Amino acid sequence: MYCQTYTFYKNDLQNQIKVNPDDYYTEERGYGYAAFDYPESLPKASKQLLSGNWGCKESAFGSWEKSKSETQYGVESSLERYPIIFKSLVPEEGVYEIEVTIQGGESGLENIMIYTARRNLVAKEVNIPAGETYRKKFLVYVCPYIPAMISEPLVENAVYIGIAGNYVRISSITIKKTDAPVLFIAGDSTLTDQSAMIPYYPGDSCGGWAQMMLSFFRGIAVCNQAHSGLTTNCFRDDGHWKIVRDRIRPGDIFMIQFGHNDQKRRNLAAFGGYLNNLRWYIKQIRELGATPVLISPISRIPFIEQGTYQSILEDHAEACRHAAKELEVAFIDLHQKTFDYLSGLKEEAAKYFCKGDITHTNDFGAYRFASMVKCEIRAAKIEPLYDYLEDKENAPRGWAPDGNTAPAEKEALRGIYLMKPAYLDLTDDIMREQVAAAMAKGLTDPCVMHLHPLEDMPRGQFLFLLFKALRISSKRPVNGQFCDISRYEWDASYVQGAYEEKLIDPVTTKNFRFRPDDALTAEELASFLIRGIHARDERDNLDLDTCLKAAKSIGLLDEKVSGNNVVTRIVCYNTLVKMMENADVTKKELPKDIEIHPVG
């Protein structure tokens, strides 16, 4: 059975590898500190995965290389907020028991945090008195993972240990192959393993709540396969489900939370495709002998409408409740818990989220929401998770935002939108070039693997892209001008915004129906585009025929296109790119209500 010990201070013990402060990771060595020198061809998200989901700001890289020194108690970082990140190859995938020791030394250490795998929290706010040694054992599950912008799983049999805090030290690490049950987790960006930058500030680091769950358990490993941008369809279609299906065993647990992206696809309506997919996953997991646990989607920061706080995710949360009751599945109503908590915080809720974001939590928010999951497991004694709780008696201590944030210096914009598209359904080089142009302008979602370029574009979904292209915000309250869309559907605020901005030709919405699910026609596409590039007070005079002729005359649409022809998604992307160049909106900032998935 594999077992390897690394020591970070001088000793004469046999069968241990001494790690020096300048032993950066190389494939030949098979262990070492994160080097952050991976090929430029890799997307940023992939590079950070190869460093334990940590990145290093350009302005900090020189300091990072000089930050570590050796003492009689181990290797320590001499710079505030510079973690120690260690990586070791292991012989095969599977469960490994890790034991980390940290000596307090002469002065002791305070507020230490330990991370593993893709920045999964193991322990936080650890205080080590002078002269004492802290020991922590935990389990890690090593298996493939599909990075953002990559269609194939990253297969790297490696263990990562990150020691973070103000000033940190590592004394020894022992890695031992073992066998234990695994908690598999599926979901979207609100619970995925998010990355953090060096210097490390928890309030400025995006965090998914599931990456905090390992800190509450003992005797079980956590495999978080959640990803940004995914729906209940994408998790299956893009290959993530296969990773779980091929490895999950009787005695394992499958925790699932989706909804934020499903609600943006009308074919995944709460009591339609979304509910059906939840049923499918639950049945599949049970056939594989594992235990499903269903969790409703966390709340975004609630908005006030008609004098009360509201959530547009309530329908999907209710569908979760329905599925759990129908199939007798363990259920945690995280949506209600988070909604009530955030509503009570009022303006203070923003402190638990990434700056300017109403959906994605920072590390403080991620830990707070994970604590709610832990408390529900404890209160309801959800088996077998309850058996693995490290502390069955006490609720976890909170982790309050400290107001200490990174300097306001602007780093280079992440380059993920400049990468080549990795979508699996692009049929030729011309289409790949077209999609690359749309991605560079922020129109496509880089987190999913299928763009469906040749499918019809629904009218409701097109508005989301149009608002991105025009750099305008959606509008609330939704006043219900149309009877075929609910005021709390995802599309509703975009329809309301389009209505107020006079982007909708009244001829296309007869009988009080916007027709969000109908396929967009060429004349309707032309109408949206031409109205969009004209001033608001000029839009009443732009009928469908005028807009179609104008779109053809400036090259947005082909001269041969008939007005009643249905347009595909790739046609919409192409015309929006052309419109953005024609209207010179590319220098404007994206509207604040547009969700940008944090992927690196």
Q: What is the mean pLDDT of each run of 10 residues along the chain (600 residues)?
A: 93 84 94 84 76 88 86 93 96 98 96 97 96 98 90 92 94 98 98 94 96 98 96 96 98 98 94 98 98 98 92 96 98 98 96 94 97 97 96 85 72 49 88 92 87 95 94 90 92 95 96 96 96 93 95 94 95 95 65 57
End of a domain among 162, 179, 196?
179
Nearest one of 67, 145, 476 to 311, comparing CA atoms: 476
**Do 471 and 384 fall within a single domain?**
no
Residue 494 lies in a domain: yes
Whether 109 maps to a domain, the answer reads: yes
Same domain, 567 and 532: yes
Q: Are residues 202 and 58 in the same domain?
A: no
Domain count, the chain: 3
The structure tokens listed for 292 are 């499903």
| Residue 473 burial class via C-beta count within 10 angstroms: exposed 0-12, middle 13-18, buried 19 and up | middle
Q: For residue 26, tell me if it sits in a domain.
A: yes
Whole-number pLDDT of residue 588: 58
Nearest one of 553, 511, 503, 562 to 527, comparing CA atoms:
503
Judge whether 305 lies within some domain.
yes
Question: 19: domain CATH number?
Answer: 2.60.120.430
523 within a domain of the structure (yes/no) = yes
**Residues 192 and 121 grouped into a single domain:** no
Q: Which residues contact 62 (CB under 8 A, 6 or more apart)?
A: none
pLDDT tens figures, 261-301: 999 998 999 999 999 999 999 999 999 999 999 999 999 99
DSSP string for 91-104: SSSEEEEEEEEEE-
Closest of 262, 73, 257 to residue 169, by C-alpha: 73
Compute the distance between CA of residue 314 and CA of residue 333 in angstroms, rounded to an integer: 11
**Structural domain for 515, as ranges:** 417-583
Q: Are residues 468 and 553 in the same domain?
A: yes
Q: What is the pLDDT of residue 587?
A: 54
Say whether both 213 and 362 belong to one domain: yes
* Last residue in a domain, options 157, 179, 201: 179
Q: Are residues 445 and 547 in the same domain?
A: yes
Does 479 lie in the same domain as 385?
A: no
The reply to whether 411 falls in a domain is no
pLDDT digits (tens, 9 = 90+) for 309-366: 999 999 999 999 999 999 999 999 999 999 999 999 999 999 999 998 999 999 999 9
Beta carbons of 253 and 213 less than 8 angstroms apart? no
Which residues, listed in sequence order, are joined to residue 75 by a DSSP beta bridge?
Answer: 70, 170
Separation CA 210–CA 156 (nearest Å): 21
The pLDDT, as a whole number, for residue 414 is 38
Instruction: Let me know if 68 is exposed, middle or buried by CB neighbors in 10 A (0-12, 13-18, 19+).
Output: buried
pLDDT for position 416: 46
Same structural domain, 345 and 431: no
Could you say which of 129, 149, 179 is where a domain stops?
179
pLDDT at 593: 55
Euclidean distance between CA atoms 469 and 63, whole angstroms = 40
Which CATH number goes with the domain that contains 231? 3.40.50.1110
Name beta bridge partners: 430: none
424 and 392 co-located in one domain: no
Same domain, 389 and 445: no
User: Same domain, yes or no, for 267 and 360?
Assistant: yes
Look at residue 593 and tell me if it is in a domain.
Answer: no
